[in-house]
Amino acid sequence: MAESILNQPQFQNEEKAREYLEALRWPNGPVCPHCGSVGKHYILTGKSHRKGLWKCVDCREQFTVTVGTVFERSKVKLNLWLQAVHLVCASKNGMSSMELHRLLGVTQKTAWFMLHRIREAMKPESGGLLGSGGGTVEADETYWGNTKRSKAAKGYKGRGYAHKEKIVSLVERGGKVRSFHVQAVTAKTLKPILLAQIAKEAHLMTDEASMYTKVGKEFASHNVVTHSAGEYVRGKAHTNTIEGFFSRLKRGLIGTYHHVGSQHLSRYVTEFDFRYNTRKSTDAERAATVIGGIGGKRLMYCHSL
């Protein structure tokens, strides 16, 4: 029987977790987060110094491997952080703070803050334009919200989506997805997103929504499928790829998180973008990608963002 991956030293021992994190973040030697110099540092070993404390030869500042990361100044043990990252990355439909709180033995509030910091680390650093080289990009929007509660809170009556949260996603066939929480789904809000994220030589695929008509002329081609007339596929023209992503997103939001406030929705969407974009990676590779993204993303007050 195979041994549980969580029995590995970095998940069980705080010192081993620190060594593991240093090896991942500093493959060429310690990097000072204050001045950026590499290797010109020495470790402080005095009795009054905590383990893993370094001093930069250039700027004379002290630092550890967690300084300038989402783990900085956390009272949660580093090996528990690594467990949390792995568990979240191995979970296909997300992990609630209640579930993480039970698994790690931390409070629910601590688990909630940990999850938001992990989502922050999932944000991509950068990326090229979707559809570069003549690729195909699908664009569509979806809506999220508790219908009765949202309507009552915002004073809406009758049908429509005005009371719901709006999410616009772009997916390159065979490639990555990028999603955006927007205040309104209009040509004015969608045009700058599409122009900033999609290459001019790309082939755009959308439904018949009018807000895509004008901006569609900016790309090599714009093919439309008329869902209102029962048309979902016409040759290579379809939006089935992005609809598949939306089904995964909704499955996680409804089945795992149940209720997501407007102020936090963008981070939850980022989490599902990350899962889709690393769908061909193993759980360990996905976790290593998150660890690689913890730098420069210190998150102080999740509730105010």
The whole-number pLDDT of residue 163 equals 79
Task: Give yes or no for a contact between 88 and 82, defined as CB atoms under 8 angstroms apart.
Answer: no
What's phi and psi for 223, nearest 5 deg? Answer: -105, 140
- Rounded mean pLDDT, 178-196: 96
Least confident window among 121-125, 142-146, 184-188, 240-244: 142-146
Whether the predicted pLDDT of 304 surpasses 70: no
Closest C-alpha to 200, from 213, 217, 224: 217
The whole-number pLDDT of residue 147 equals 55
Confidence band, pLDDT 50/70/90 cuts, at residue 111? very high
Query: Cα separations (Å) of 141 from 126, 147, 208, 293?
Result: 23, 17, 12, 28
The whole-number pLDDT of residue 150 equals 52
Written in H, E and C, the secondary structure of the chain is CCCCHHHCHHHHCHHHHHHHHHHHHCCCCCECCCCCCECCEEECCCCCCCCCCEEECCCCCEECCCCCECCCCCCCCHHHHHHHHHHHHHCCCCCCHHHHHHHHCCCHHHHHHHHHHHHHHCCCCCCCCECCCCCEEEEEEEEECCHHHHHHHHCCCCCCCCCCEEEEEEEECCCCEEEEEECCCCHHHHHHHHHHHECCCCEEEEECCHHHCCHHHHCCEEEEECHHHCCCEECCEECHHHHHHHHHHHHHHHHHHCCCCCCCHHHHHHHHHHHHHCCCCCHHHHHHHHHHCCECCCCCCHHHC
Closest C-alpha to 71, from 285, 267, 299, 270: 299
pTM: 0.89
Summarize pLDDT for 229-264 with one digit per residue, the tens: 898 999 999 999 999 999 999 999 999 998 898 999
Share of the chain above pLDDT 70, in %: 92
Summarize pLDDT for 3-56 with one digit per residue, the tens: 889 999 999 999 999 999 999 999 999 999 999 999 789 999 988 888 999 999
The whole-number pLDDT of residue 305 equals 35
Whether the predicted pLDDT of 169 surpasses 70: yes
- Give the C-alpha separation, 12 to 111, whole Å: 18
Summarize pLDDT for 212-230 with one digit per residue, the tens: 999 999 999 999 999 988 9
Q: Which domains does the chain have, with CATH numbers?
A: 5-125+289-298 (no CATH), 136-262 (3.30.420)
Whether the predicted pLDDT of 302 surpasses 90: no
- Rounded mean pLDDT, 79-100: 96
Task: Give yes or no for a contact between 238 and 225, defined as CB atoms under 8 angstroms apart.
Answer: yes
Identify which has the larger pLDDT, 230 or 160: 230
Whether the predicted pLDDT of 289 surpasses 90: yes
State the first-to-last Cα distance of the chain, in angstroms, to the nearest integer: 45
Share of the chain above pLDDT 90, in %: 81
Task: Give yes or no for a contact between 145 and 162, defined as CB atoms under 8 angstroms apart.
Answer: no
